[in-house]
Amino acid sequence: MRSSASQGRLPGVPATLEEARQRAEHLRRAIEYHNYRYYVLDDPELSDAAYDALINELRALEDAFPELRTPDSPTQRVGAPPLDRFEKVHHEVPMLSLGNAFHADEVRRWYRRVCRLANREALDLVVEPKIDGLAVTLLYEGGRLVRGATRGDGLTGEDVTPNVRTVKQIPLVIPVPAPEQRRVEWMPPFPAVTEPPPRLEVRGEVYMRKSDFEALNRRQAERGERTFANPRNAAAGSLRQLDSRITARRPLSFFAYGVGIVEGVNVTTHWELLGYLGALGFPINPDARLCTSLDEALVYAEAWLKRRHELDYEADGVVFKVNDLGMYEQLGATGREPRWAIAYKAPPSEAVTVLEDIVVNVGRTGQVVPTAVLRPVEVGGVVVSHATLHNADYIQERDLRIGDHVIVRRAGDVIPQVVRPLLELRTGAERPWQMPNRCPSCGEPLVQPEGEVAYYCTNVACPAQLIRRVEHFASRNAMDIEGFGSKLAARFVKLGLLKDPADLYFLTKEQILGVEGFAEKSAENLLRAIEESKGRGLARLLTALGIRYVGSTVAELLARHYASLDEIMGASLEELEAIEGIGPRTAASFVEWFSRPQNRQMVEKLRRAGVRFERVGPADEEDHTPLAGLTFVLTGTLPTMTREEAKALIQEHGGRVVSSVSRKTDYVVAGERAGSKLRRAQELGIPVISEDDLRHMVITRGR
């Protein structure tokens, strides 16, 4: 990689500031042009020595005239001093996540539905590789990069401007290269751009090439430092360094694929937009294709997926996008997924390994969930050592035994799950497994409520439950206590500093300093984060309490009907059930939770601490629930859940369950012996998903 470290002969420094300014501007344009040739086109015109001479001359000018040194100067790509923490960035145009399709038939159903909504018989599509990296957004004003941010939850991200400035493929000033530069063959045609748009937000993926990743890991190992698991983790970790000088030493790359804020740009198709971004100097993936029919798009996608492992970057599928930008507003979105695009994921990656043990973990509601302990195996580029087993019935139905050779799959290249045992490899030494009778954390008997497959520990003093409750209370979707995650929750509970989540507000600086890993500054930061969380408002507080079936959506619904927690605590079962969107089971769970003396005592502790019990707005915070705004219909017999359990899962994560299929339905969850609802969904082109797909959506969309 070009180092810009060698010393070339420097010309004389101009005598006046104006002469120096003109020369510096000329040098910057030339350097950006040659950066583009080198990093984007892989077609350099200058030798490294000649390039270094330009850099050294510019650096000398900036040393002689410090007022010329600007953040967008090519000399500043070395990084800046460390930050205390990242600032939050609100995305004016949300960064939507994509719906997934795992089979061609699902893509066809999506296409038919989009054509129907667009009132078109056919639509042109653009197919682009789905790069496995970190989504970022780059804001340019007057052609200069002023902000770089991560996607975050789609509505709020993190300001990583100093870090994105170090990525050589990201232009600091647009347009580049020089206007006379001829476009390369694979780039969508667009005339040279000579003037920057007033405001432009470019969106794309920061990633790490496989070859760069391997070289980085070799260097890390030689220095005795931690190596990375895969290119995506390496890219994400590099871009989220508080010290951007570390980011500058990491070999990051970038592909642009879309825009957010747009001013002064007149393009009508996505293909034209890619050409425009390329003309500005942004790297565009050379495997993007414009297709005039769905069949053409599927043929190209299938061929590309077969060769994706030959490429020098990780990709877990392709993205189909409607080419006509004018259709985007008409098609709209469902929840946080645009209707005008869908990700066609690669087939699930599978591997064979040994099921070495089955352990149970206790959640915040007391539910005991079995987890597979696997002999570590690489699946789709990630080493997997644990996988969910859902519940005891799941294990028994598949006759899974400790010691079995099992097939492990990463559904959609994300969630590891045990599919089935390989019976032909059994030796007779395998051992059947049974759900324990007692809680592994507190030793109290486990109970299985009538009609449910799950087992529960009902001991409210169970340490494992307390750790999960504290972790949930402090989580982003609840009270959002920055920096207080699962490890700290476990540490503070085990030290006896927290008997319930409300104790967080009574921690002292001296107590925190007594916890391993805390110093003066970090203790003050935690206390400040705890204090800031007091004002989150009613909806966040209701979510944080961890009442069963009361997720963010139900909490916000209650916050719209009641002005304070005291009003809700005084509501009767009948009043709660009368609220549209709150079913009998949710209302009963709510009333039962507040009937427990220990829960009432915790609420009073929160009051004494000064936690805000009133709502702070129509909806206290943006909705971060993964299924928010989506409508589901359940049909058939699901593998591991009853209809009521599936409904509760959907509602807890923000979705809505209705009884009949209509054009307003977003997904149909189908099991065995599905009947007329399934046929109706297929007629309307509504996506049909399995129970596993539903769990996948809850996990991946909630990250």
DSSP codes, 528-560: HHHHHHTTS-HHHHHHHTT-TT--HHHHHHHHH
Question: Is the pTM of the predicted complex or chain greater than 0.95?
Answer: no
- H or E element, residue 63: helix 48-64
Instruction: Decide: 314 and 132 in contact? Cβ < 8 Å.
Output: yes
Average the pLDDT over each of 220-234, 237-251, 326-340 and give the range with the smallest value.
220-234
CA dist., res. 316 & res. 410, Å (int): 11
Which amino acid type is present at position 118? A
Residue 380's pLDDT is 64
CA dist., res. 572 & res. 354, Å (int): 52
pLDDT band at 631 (very low <50, low <70, confident <90, very high): confident
Torsion angles phi and psi, residue 694, rounded to 5: -65, -45
pLDDT, average across residues 269-286: 92
pLDDT, average across residues 385-393: 87
Residue 157's pLDDT is 87
Residue 11's pLDDT is 46
Longest dimension (CA), the chain: 88
More confident residue, 225 or 280: 280
Q: Closest by alpha carbon to 693, among 652, 622, 621, 641?
A: 641
More confident residue, 244 or 293: 293
pLDDT band at 41 (very low <50, low <70, confident <90, very high): low
Which amino acid type is present at position 304? W
Residue 1's pLDDT is 47
Average the pLDDT over each of 107-121, 473-487, 497-511 and give the range with the smallest value.
473-487
Residue 672's pLDDT is 76
pLDDT band at 187 (very low <50, low <70, confident <90, very high): low
Residue 6's pLDDT is 39
Beta bridge partners of residue 338, listed in sequence order = 333
Catalytic residues: 130
Average the pLDDT over each of 241-245, 351-355, 610-614, 639-643 and give the range with the smallest value.
639-643
Residue ranges of domains in the chain? 17-76, 100-115+130-287, 349-426, 463-609, 631-701
pLDDT band at 623 (very low <50, low <70, confident <90, very high): very low
Strand locations in 295-414 (E) = 315-322, 333-334, 337-338, 341-345, 349-362, 367-379, 382-388, 401-402, 405-411
Q: Mind listing the pLDDT tens digit for each residue in 43-80? A: 667 666 667 667 778 888 888 888 888 877 887 765 55
pLDDT, average across residues 380-402: 86
pLDDT of 414 > 70? The answer is no
Instruction: Decide: 632 and 657 in contact? Cβ < 8 Å.
Output: yes
pLDDT band at 329 (very low <50, low <70, confident <90, very high): confident
3-state SS class at 287? coil
Residue 406, both tokens: 């099992």
Q: Mind listing the pLDDT tens digit for each residue in 155-176? A: 888 899 999 999 999 999 998 8
- Specify whether domain 463-609 bears CATH 3.40.50.12280: no
3-state SS class at 286? coil
Which amino acid type is present at position 651? Q
Beta bridge partners of residue 658, listed in sequence order = 633
pLDDT of 309 > 60? The answer is yes
Phi-psi region of 32 (alpha: psi -120 to 50; beta: other; left: phi over 0): alpha
Instruction: Decide: 276 and 230 in contact? Cβ < 8 Å.
Output: no
Average the pLDDT over each of 135-139, 297-301, 414-418, 685-689 and give the range with the smallest value.
414-418
pLDDT band at 40 (very low <50, low <70, confident <90, very high): low
Residue that has been written with the tokens 């299924």 in this structure: 627
Question: What is the homologous superfamily of the domain 349-426 according to CATH?
Answer: Nucleic acid-binding proteins (2.40.50.140)
Q: Mind listing the pLDDT tens digit for each residue in 468-489? A: 889 999 988 889 998 898 889 9
Q: Mind listing the pLDDT tens digit for each residue in 651-695? A: 777 778 877 788 778 889 988 777 778 888 887 888 888 887 787
* Mean of all residue pLDDT scores within the chain: 84
Instruction: Decide: 395 and 369 in contact? Cβ < 8 Å.
Output: no
CA dist., res. 314 & res. 129, Å (int): 10
Residue 26's pLDDT is 80
Q: Up-side HSE of residue 398: CA atoms within 13 Å toward CB? A: 21
Q: Closest by alpha carbon to 423, among 408, 407, 409, 404?
A: 404
- Specify whether domain 17-76 bears CATH 1.10.10.10: no
CATH number assigned to the domain with residue range 631-701, chosen from the 4 options 3.10.129.10, 3.40.50.10190, 3.40.50.2300, 1.10.230.10: 3.40.50.10190
Q: Mind listing the pLDDT tens digit for each residue in 260-269? A: 999 999 899 9
The DSSP result for 191-223, as a single string, is PPP-S--SEEEEEEEEE--HHHHHHHHHHHHHT
Residue 10's pLDDT is 41
3-state SS class at 685? coil
The DSSP result for 216-279, as a single string, is HHHHHHHTTPPPPSSHHHHHHHHHT-SSHHHHHTS--EEEEEEEEEEES----BHHHHHHHHHH
Residue 123, both tokens: 């639509």
- Interhelix angle for 463-474 vs 486-494, to 10°? 140
**How deeply is 651 buried, as exposed, middle or buried, from its count of CB atoms within 10 A (0-12, 13-18, 19+)?**
buried
Residue 226, both tokens: 């931690």
More confident residue, 5 or 636: 636
pLDDT band at 9 (very low <50, low <70, confident <90, very high): very low
Say if strands 446-447 and 405-411 run parallel, antiparallel, or are unpaired: unpaired
Residue 405, both tokens: 């050779």
pLDDT band at 452 (very low <50, low <70, confident <90, very high): confident
Residue 5's pLDDT is 42
Question: What is the homologous superfamily of the domain 100-115+130-287 according to CATH?
Answer: DNA ligase/mRNA capping enzyme (3.30.470.30)
Q: Mind listing the pLDDT tens digit for each residue in 533-562? A: 999 999 899 999 988 888 777 888 888 888
Residue 701's pLDDT is 58
Average the pLDDT over each of 258-267, 573-582, 644-653 and give the range with the smallest value.
644-653
3-state SS class at 684? helix
- H or E element, residue 290: strand 289-291
3-state SS class at 149? strand
pLDDT of 457 > 90? The answer is no
pLDDT of 277 > 50? The answer is yes
Length of the chain: 703
| Residue 365, C-beta contacts closer than 8 angstroms, at least 6 positions apart | 456, 465, 546, 548
Strand locations in 604-696 (E) = 631-635, 656-658, 667-670, 688-689
Average the pLDDT over each of 468-472, 512-516, 547-551, 594-598 and give the range with the smallest value.
547-551
Residue 696's pLDDT is 73
pLDDT of 182 > 50? The answer is no
pLDDT of 411 > 60? The answer is no
pLDDT of 703 > 50? The answer is no
pLDDT of 628 > 80? The answer is no
Percent residues over pLDDT 90 in the chain? 34
Torsion angles phi and psi, residue 173, rounded to 5: -135, 135
Torsion angles phi and psi, residue 266, rounded to 5: -120, 90
Instruction: Decide: 435 and 370 in contact? Cβ < 8 Å.
Output: yes
Query: How many other C-beta atoms lie within 10 A of the C-beta of residue 51?
Result: 23
Residue 178's pLDDT is 55
3-state SS class at 331? helix
CA dist., res. 483 & res. 466, Å (int): 18
Instruction: Decide: 491 and 511 in contact? Cβ < 8 Å.
Output: no
Torsion angles phi and psi, residue 625, rounded to 5: -75, 140
